[in-house]
Amino acid sequence: MIKFDFFTNTEKFLSKQELANLLDKKPLILEKFNTSNMVGWLKRPDDEVLEKIDYLSKKIKANSELLVVVGIGGSYLGSYSYHNIFKKYFNDNSFEIIYAGTTLSSNYLNDLVGYLENKDFTINVISKSGTTLETTLTYQILKELLEKKYSKEEVKERIIVTTSKDSSLASDENFLEIPSDIGGRYSFLTPAHLLALSLNYDIKKIIDNYMKGLNLIDEAYTYACIRNMLYKKNFYVENFCVYEECLASCTEWLKQLFAETEGKDNKGILPMSTINTRDLHSLGQYIQEGKKIIFETFIKINNSSSFIVNGQDVHTLNNLVEDAVIKAHNEGGVPCNIIELDYLNEENIAMLIVFFQLSAAFSAYLFEVNPFNQPGVEVYKKNIQEKLK
């Protein structure tokens, strides 16, 4: 179960009338959203796609010790973040997945190749465009490594390409399609993430939980309105604040989702994150007493496994600290939204993913920008092409 509190700790910063006006715009925003040709992520994937994923997943488990996912941005953050939430901190015995393709660091690539030299692995290269430099370069390096280790036939078996139908990477074998009506950061329910997830999770359950999240459309719209209003009151930065280390990767996903969705045309809220209690000893100072441009969204977990020290349950203490911080920040002039999960479980996380996707898209429409493109990302890509000529 998820509870949302967008009012208790923001009310004093908002104008009731302006908020009512924004809430009244809902039918208009929903119409824009529903008539967009980029909302394929509201539908369940076809059974045929799930069967193919199941087949490939079994093959990977049979012939590989690990899967290397090669992708960047929306092409890896969904499954990466989900898996990081649920895998164990230590002695993790889940099927190993390495997320490569996010760096051009030679140190990293050398270490990666060294690690993979004596491993049996499969590559899942994921790129909707098929042209992203980091992805294609890492893919080339790892493919060459496969070619050194295996026969031509076996190399083919060990490469799975997830891309759009018309991309240059698309092939007849081991090909999973990213539908044209779903953009990278909205692709959680596509093979771009479902294949990697299928190695450790029941993806049918993930899909069912995700579909339940679509019922949060009203809450998502309200949250988008609150964010928009806070922005208009000069709160230009949103701090996503979590009190579980494993949610750090979820905040990476959130930053990418919101930054690429609404940071356009000289508008948009700048997302940041704090992983507490760690960051209470760094960014916490700025948030409490620095320039008042930040509002916060806390993801709070009500129940957890217990760990008792000196008769005190540490999770209760963690939540006590979180409440104390919300109070202190709020009194210090920082508006705070609270999203409360009864448990950190798969159902809540899948629902939260959809909630944030819906909110980000609504938010972009309220800013009057296109939620589903990222023209700014293309600027540096063009510069590279010029330099590499």
Chain residues binding ligand PA5 by CB under 6 A are: 72-75, 127-129, 132, 135, 183-185, 260, 374, 377
Q: Which one, 10 or 374, has the nearer CB to ligand PA5?
A: 374
Residue at shortest CB range from ligand PA5:
184
Q: Which one, 131 or 288, has the nearer CB to ligand PA5?
A: 131
Take residue 213 and report the two structure tokens written for it. 């999240």
How many angstroms separate the CA atoms of 9 and 205, rounded? 34
Q: Which one, 189 or 287, has the nearer CB to ligand PA5?
A: 189
Strand pairing class (175-177; 159-163): parallel
Minimum distance of ligand PA5 from residue 138's CB (angstroms) = 11
How many angstroms separate the CA atoms of 259 and 70, rounded? 22
Q: Which one, 255 or 292, has the nearer CB to ligand PA5?
A: 255
How many angstroms separate the CA atoms of 19 and 229, rounded? 7
How many angstroms separate the CA atoms of 11 and 337, rounded? 10
- One-letter amino acid at 182 equals I
Q: Which one, 73 or 191, has the nearer CB to ligand PA5?
A: 73
Minimum distance of ligand PA5 from residue 73's CB (angstroms) = 3
Minimum distance of ligand PA5 from residue 118's CB (angstroms) = 29
- Report yes or no: 272 and 239 within 8 Å, Cβ to Cβ: yes
- Report yes or no: 186 and 372 within 8 Å, Cβ to Cβ: yes
Indicate which residues carry an active-site annotation.
260, 281, 381
How many angstroms separate the CA atoms of 273 and 189, rounded? 24
Minimum distance of ligand PA5 from residue 128's CB (angstroms) = 4
How many angstroms separate the CA atoms of 132 and 377, rounded? 11
Minimum distance of ligand PA5 from residue 72's CB (angstroms) = 5
